[in-house]
Structure 1
Amino acid sequence: VRHFVTQLNLFLFLSCKYLRQGRKFLVRKLTGRCELQRICYNNKSGAHRTLKIESSLKFSKSELLQSAVIVHPDSVEKTIDDIMTLKKIDPDINPQLGISLQASLLQIVGYHKLMAEVEKLRREPYDCNNPEHEEMLVKLWKALRPESPLTGRISKQWMEIGFQGSDPKTDFRGMGLLGLHSLLYFAEHDQAAALQVLHDSLQPKHSKMSKAEWDKKSFEKAIGYSFAIVGINITDLAYTLLVNGALKTHLYNVAPEIPNMVHFQQTFSYLMQEFHRFWTEEDPCDIMEFNRVRNKFYKRILTQLKDPDMVLCPHFTASDLHLITL
């Protein structure tokens, strides 16, 4: 039975492959345009066009086209020239094709570059002997607790912004520096929202709880959730969406050319605010329901990203737009 199933799968794969090639050949003969031309001319810029171009290149039988999705950004122009030559397309007669291909290819290779940058940060552990790491941590405190001086590097004060203990470095193990970068970006670039989310996270679960009941509750049970810990967890969610390709829809729609770290951090800031709203709507009994709520939230975001028109966070500030276009 296993042998039969293997043969059937191979047959179906080969059938689909050759049917696709046959269909492409027939359509080109009828329209006089190759698949890339048809995609560029029949789809608007953004995810609609770039996702189809990416798929076309990946499944091409040409090694040149297959490798086009992983070239260095500096090699994109030459790659476009090589593709035009391979497809026997005159750039003077089809000037818009080269422009459209270049924009989409920059998005595609930029996405791969962004994944590498994000992964590098994720793998870099927090080092308390590194002055830059320590400075970022202190900046996070100042952004979230601007009127409360930090009494010491090791202090229970860190629990006020949602770390588990007196030394935050232990909480960054899962996401490395990526977690700290994300939290700091949110706290500094969207400070009003970050402060509001932090404030709400520290409120008692039950608004009608009497003072006597409040005093009997432990700190951990009284808060909605731990801001910093949840932030690191949402960093993992954003990272997962990036790695599994789900974020392509959003990033291809918001990045005119190369997606960069600012786009990722803006996405994290959006996810933090949306998770906070979602948590409030779900109204869980306590923090023990966190994984259930998180998984439900993740599935909702995945569903949204299946829409090729989806843009998670369209409201970039002027300063962020400047950074994005660099």
Structure 2
Amino acid sequence: RGLKFVIRKVTGRCELQRICHNNKPGARRTLKIGRPTYCLRIILCQSALSAHPDRVEKTIDDIMTLKKVNPDTNPQLGISLQASLFQIVGYRSLVAEVEKLRREPYDCENPDHEEMLMKLWKTLRPDSPLTGRISKQWCEIGFQGNDPKTDFRGMGLLGLHNLLYFAEHDKATALQVLHDSLQPKHSKMSKAEWEQKNFDKAIGYSFAIVGINITDLAYSLLVSGALKTHLYNVAPEMPSLSHFQQTFCYLMQEFHRFWIEEDPCDIMEFNRVRSKFHRRVLRQLKNPDMALCPHFAASDLHLVNL
């Protein structure tokens, strides 16, 4: 504390002012603002109770008073704090929103749930009408059995939301990944076998099941705080569900490339490949300037390295 007092006397800036002045907007600044003094952490916890803009503005006033900073002579500090506080509050709100979707089970009696599932089929298989709600056709897009509802148990409605977002917002890539996942891995497979839809001999994984599994990976990155680096760098203010879903799209594309590069013998190696991919993403996110970037036009995420 004595050192901070001396530095403030010498520089004329408090710790928050130095953080905002010495760090560019994004993860570098917001991650540091989120962990300075004990008193500031208390205020940040209070502000996290509400994401309303008025509450954030009041929090900034409280911080400026606490740190004895005159807002009239230091207007830039308030602007910088507002952007970072929106990111901090928005991240916490996003975690709560994602958790709510994850905890909501798929309900075949809910027309909204059923409509989403039918949209997923029509988007991925536009030229193949579904013969029935319970059908082996679901295996064509990577579900395990005749009724997809059983596959959503782990991630609840979040898995379906992510799959549908990928299929609708990056349709060309989703269709390509699906197509690749169904290609015969071994050239010795005969044309007759392929035409009989022998999916067990495909490139190595089931599209929908992997999508739900990658949803779990994205969820774990979010709740652990690892995604703060990425989201603080791509969301100028409050990270939203769409930012999370765009991140999922990126992870789906990158995992698909990674799976092909690893060239596993069969699906039994899935956990090994997934763990290796997870570790790679975590290493990337340790770089405070990193921003994972989906490769599709609908995304508003522009930078890989800011």
Distance 1:145 1:121 in 2: 25
Contact 2:185–2:203 under 8 Å retained in 1: yes
Task: Looking at secondary structure, tell me which structure has more helix per residue.
Answer: 1
Secondary structure at 1:165's aligned position in 2?
coil
RMSD: 2.0
Deviations 1:30-52 (A, max 9, x none): 22211111001111000010011
Which among 143, 146, 166 is matched to residue 123 of structure 2?
A: 143
Correspondence for 1:295: 275
Correspondence for 1:26: 6
Correspondence for 1:123: 103
TM-score, with structure 1 as normaliser: 0.87
Instruction: Give the letter aligned to residue 247 of structure 2.
Output: T
Distance 1:63 1:245 in 2: 16
* Segment drifting more, 85-94 vs 129-138: 85-94
Q: Alpha-carbon deviation of 1:28? A: 2.0
Q: Alpha-carbon deviation of 1:314? A: 5.9
Deviations 1:255-290 (A, max 9, x none): 010000000000000000000000000000000000
Contact 1:49–1:104 under 8 Å retained in 2: yes
Q: Alpha-carbon deviation of 1:213? A: 9.6
Which among 74, 77, 82 is matched to residue 102 of structure 1?
A: 82
Superposition pairs of residues 109-258 of structure 1, within 5 angstroms? 109-206=89-186, 208-211=187-190, 214=193, 219-258=199-238
Correspondence for 1:92: 72
Superposition pairs of residues 42-121 of structure 1, within 5 angstroms? 42-56=22-36, 59-61=37-39, 64-67=42-45, 70-74=48-52, 75-121=55-101
Distance 1:256 1:217 in 2: 46
* Segment drifting more, 133-142 vs 30-39: 30-39
- Rg comparison, structure with higher value: 1
* Number of equivalenced pairs: 298
Distance 2:176 2:152 in 1: 23
Which among 258, 267, 274 is matched to residue 278 of structure 1?
A: 258
Q: Alpha-carbon deviation of 1:244? A: 0.3
Contact 2:136–2:146 under 8 Å retained in 1: yes
Structure 1 unaligned residues grouped into runs of 5+: 1-20
TM-score, with structure 2 as normaliser: 0.92
